[in-house]
């Protein structure tokens, strides 16, 4: 038991280090492209996928708007589970509603998502292609930062026989150090 806990802790440290490197490198890329400063998101799954942790670098692209969305979100990063690590990438529209003098906001979105693995622990997610839908609520601080709480559901939408779905709860932080 202790060995599994130590391995999981090592996986999470490696996961955090990898994501931090992606975020630091992305600040340079974001200033040269139409990307806003990246958000850092850490989410954990519950229920059937207990112990799965997802860390993401998420980029808002306001120049790409579809179906009246506020922006498109491109997210990528690692996923850590007791059975090992995997990666994901997603892209999809986000609709934002400003609240209370634009200091608070609510987001809703959906994104096709590709995973590098379909098994997490002893559970099969049902393939590598999925859809991630989410709702979040947050607040801005200053001109350059925000903090939000995100609830998301990932499933394959029934396109495969196995479709348990994975629910996650996460915190998202963004601060543009270049402004």
pLDDT at residue 179 above 80?
no
Tokens in use for 57?
Answer: 């670098």
User: pLDDT averaged over the chain?
Assistant: 82
Q: Mind listing the pLDDT tens digit for each residue in 125-173?
A: 999 999 999 999 999 998 789 999 999 999 999 999 999 999 999 999 9
- Complete domains list, the chain, with CATH: 2-175 (2.40.160.20)
Q: Mind listing the pLDDT tens digit for each residue in 93-108?
A: 999 999 998 899 999 9
Q: Averaged over 38-65, what is the pLDDT? A: 87
pLDDT at residue 9 above 60?
no
pTM, full prediction: 0.78
CA 49 to chain centre: 16
User: What are the φ and ψ backbone dihedral angles of 84, each rounded to 5 degrees?
Assistant: 135, -175
Q: What are the Cα distances from residue 178, in Å, to 10, 73, 75, 149?
A: 32, 20, 20, 24
Nearest to 108 by CA among 71, 73, 134: 134
pLDDT of residue 25: 46
**Most distant CA pair in the chain, distance:** 51
């Amino acid at each position: 038991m202790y060995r599994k806990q130590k391995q999981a802790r090592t996986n999470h440290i490696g996961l955090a280090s990898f994501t931090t490197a992606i975020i630091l490198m992305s600040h340079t890329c974001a200033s040269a492209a139409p990307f806003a400063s990246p958000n850092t998101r850490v989410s954990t799954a519950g229920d059937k996928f207990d112990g799965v942790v997802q860390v993401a670098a998420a980029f808002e692209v306001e120049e790409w708007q579809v179906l009246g969305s506020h922006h498109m979100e491109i997210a990528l990063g690692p996923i850590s589970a007791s059975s090992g690590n995997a990666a994901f990438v997603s892209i999809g529209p986000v609709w934002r509603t400003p609240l209370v003098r634009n200091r608070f906001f609510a987001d809703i979105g959906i994104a096709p998502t590709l995973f590098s693995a379909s098994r997490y622990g002893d559970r099969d997610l049902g393939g590598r292609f999925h859809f991630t839908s989410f709702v979040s609520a947050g607040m801005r601080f200053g001109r350059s930062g925000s903090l939000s709480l995100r609830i998301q559901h990932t499933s394959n939408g029934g396109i495969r026989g196995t479709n348990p779905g994975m629910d996650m709860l996460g915190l998202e932080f963004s601060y543009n150090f270049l402004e």
